Amino acid sequence: MKKMKDLPYIIGLKVKIYPSDEQKRLIAVNDGAKRAVYNHLVACGNEKYRLSMSADNVPAYQERLDYLESVTGGLDSIKNAMPFLYGKDVDDQAVANASKNYHTAWKNRKERHTGVPVFKKKSSVQSYQTNAHYYAKDTQEGHNSNVWFLGKNHVTLPKLGRIRFGGSSGEAAEIIRRQEARDIRIGTITVERDAVGEYWASFQVSSETPFREILPPAGSEHGIDLNLLELVVDSDGNELENPKFLQASMKKLKKAQRRLSRMAERAKKDVRKLLECKNYQKQRQKVAYLHRKVARQRADYLHAYSKHEIESQDFIAAEDLKVKNLMRNHNLAKAIGDAGWRTLLNMLKYKAKLYGRTVVLVPPKDTTQTCSVCGYVMSGDEKLTLDVREWECPYCHTHHHRDRNAARNVLKRGLQAAMQP
């Protein structure tokens, strides 16, 4: 059987799972193991960085550096540094993936200028990643993997064993059918307990045969621009509005979040631990629930939009996410807006692959400030402020709608990028 990376088609499947108490305990153990490994690597990495600054003349430092290098190397060295990882409840793949994620974080820092990897704190969310293992020969039960869907409602997972899952969708049914036909390979599996306390499993599934029929050419292309007034404006001037139901849920969430911070402040003043404040914990649950509701409503809405875009356009260009801005963001509404943007980009990229379309991400610099007709860039005092919705180019005198003009620049950049070899 081919490896994941050699299979061209990929799809995600997320199902709600109902673990037993023992399985819940195992999930908590592996979430802890994942965090311990990650934090161990962060600590070693930090020390390595400090020592490497002054390692030249001090042989003892070099010795320590060599040691740090060795304990952050492979799976065995990490396990030797933290012997509890040899425990029978710990999933080796969870350990390996935590290490992989740490190294990816460093790679992202170099390539995309994200922050240095930092310690992960224990939170109300638990999660870890594991992987399906494939056998050369089928087992007695007739399976070729340790991850196997049994009927419509059960799946076996590494370490956890047989586990019930719910709401078997059409998507799950297709995976189950194709598993029987040996037509899929399951890669990474993320096991999660969300902030509300519900459990989920997400499967990365790939195959040599497409999961969807490739769409015929649509003869149209779009650049899209995100802003917070309308959610999306495209290069043809179509607007996707932020729906009222979403605005209403967000208002509720903001209110609940403010109440939660006030409760935290009060607890701090009274020198009480948050974990022991019943009302705070109740409110935290409420905030988590509302957060999830907003995320789901938005996801449904964006699913419908991205599906329509993929069906009606051959080529879509969008602004790449501004990672740095995102990290500086402490405003909730903006943070959720950014999260929505990232969700939308992921959906578009994912669906483009499934249906044979092209999605290109372009750098966002000056898309708003550039005239899409003549290329003039507004600078200094000319720069458009946020309240300017329409403007006229001082050079070619074209009248512009702010966001439509930005979307046209995005499309131009996208097409240029696509043409370069």
When the beta carbons of 165 and 391 are compared against Zn ion, the nearer one is 391
In angstroms, give the least distance from the CB of 252 to Zn ion: 44
When the beta carbons of 1 and 396 are compared against Zn ion, the nearer one is 396
Distance CA 249, CA 340 (A): 14
When the beta carbons of 18 and 376 are compared against Zn ion, the nearer one is 376
When the beta carbons of 248 and 374 are compared against Zn ion, the nearer one is 374
The 3-class SS string of the chain reads: CCCHHHCCEEEEEEEEEECCHHHHHHHHHHHHHHHHHHHHHHHHHHHHHHHHCCCCCCHHHHHHHHHHHHHCCCHHHHHHHCHHHHCCCCCHHHHHHHHHHHHHHHHHHHHHCCCCCCCCCCCCCEEEEEECCECCCCCCCCCCECCEEECCCEEEECCCEEEEEECCCHHHHHHHHHHHCCCEEEEEEEEEECCCCCEEEEEEEEECCCCCCCCCCCCCEEEEEECCCEEEEECCCCEEECCHHHHHHHHHHHHHHHHHHHHHHHHHHCCCCHHHCHHHHHHHHHHHHHHHHHHHHHHHHHHHHHHHHHHHCCEEEEECCCHHHHHCCCCHHHHHHHHHHHHHHHHHHHHHHHHCCEEEEECCCCCCCECCCCCCECCHHHCCCCCCCEEECCCCCCEEEHHHHHHHHHHHHHHHHHHCC
Q: Which of 4, 373, 384, 415 is the binder for Zn ion (CB under 5 A)?
A: 373
Q: Is residue 344 involved in binding Zn ion (CB under 5 A)? A: no
Q: Is residue 376 involved in binding Zn ion (CB under 5 A)? A: yes
Q: Which of 374, 377, 386, 388 is the binder for Zn ion (CB under 5 A)?
A: 374
When the beta carbons of 218 and 374 are compared against Zn ion, the nearer one is 374
The residue range among 48-56, 273-281, 363-371, 399-407 that interacts with Zn ion, by the rule CB under 5 A, is 363-371
In angstroms, give the least distance from the CB of 372 to Zn ion: 8
Q: Is residue 378 involved in binding Zn ion (CB under 5 A)? A: no
Q: Is residue 406 involved in binding Zn ion (CB under 5 A)? A: no
In angstroms, give the least distance from the CB of 238 to Zn ion: 23
In angstroms, give the least distance from the CB of 412 to Zn ion: 13
Distance from the first to the final alpha carbon of the chain? 33
The residue range among 127-135, 296-304, 386-394, 399-407 that interacts with Zn ion, by the rule CB under 5 A, is 386-394
Q: How many residues interact with Zn ion (rule CB under 5 A)?
A: 7
In angstroms, give the least distance from the CB of 78 to Zn ion: 58
When the beta carbons of 97 and 235 are compared against Zn ion, the nearer one is 235
Q: Is residue 395 involved in binding Zn ion (CB under 5 A)? A: yes
Q: Is residue 58 involved in binding Zn ion (CB under 5 A)? A: no
Q: Is residue 393 involved in binding Zn ion (CB under 5 A)? A: yes
In angstroms, give the least distance from the CB of 371 to Zn ion: 3
When the beta carbons of 49 and 395 are compared against Zn ion, the nearer one is 395
When the beta carbons of 1 and 374 are compared against Zn ion, the nearer one is 374
Q: Is residue 196 involved in binding Zn ion (CB under 5 A)? A: no
Q: How far out from the chain centre does Cα 304 lie?
A: 19
In angstroms, give the least distance from the CB of 392 to Zn ion: 9
Q: Looking at residues 230 to 269 of the shown chain, list those that interact with Zn ion (rule: CB under 5 A).
A: none
Distance CA 168, CA 416 (A): 43
Q: Which of 78, 371, 406, 410 is the binder for Zn ion (CB under 5 A)?
A: 371
Closest CA to 120 of 35, 27, 32, 33: 35
Angstrom CA distances, 188 to 121, 147, 158, 185, 210, stand at 23, 11, 11, 10, 19
When the beta carbons of 39 and 369 are compared against Zn ion, the nearer one is 369
In angstroms, give the least distance from the CB of 408 to Zn ion: 11
Q: Is residue 396 involved in binding Zn ion (CB under 5 A)? A: yes
When the beta carbons of 90 and 371 are compared against Zn ion, the nearer one is 371
Residue type for position 70? S
In angstroms, give the least distance from the CB of 375 to Zn ion: 7
When the beta carbons of 108 and 369 are compared against Zn ion, the nearer one is 369
Residue type for position 165? F
The residue range among 290-298, 316-324, 338-346, 364-372 that interacts with Zn ion, by the rule CB under 5 A, is 364-372
**Binding region for Zn ion (CB under 5 A):** 371, 373-374, 376, 393, 395-396
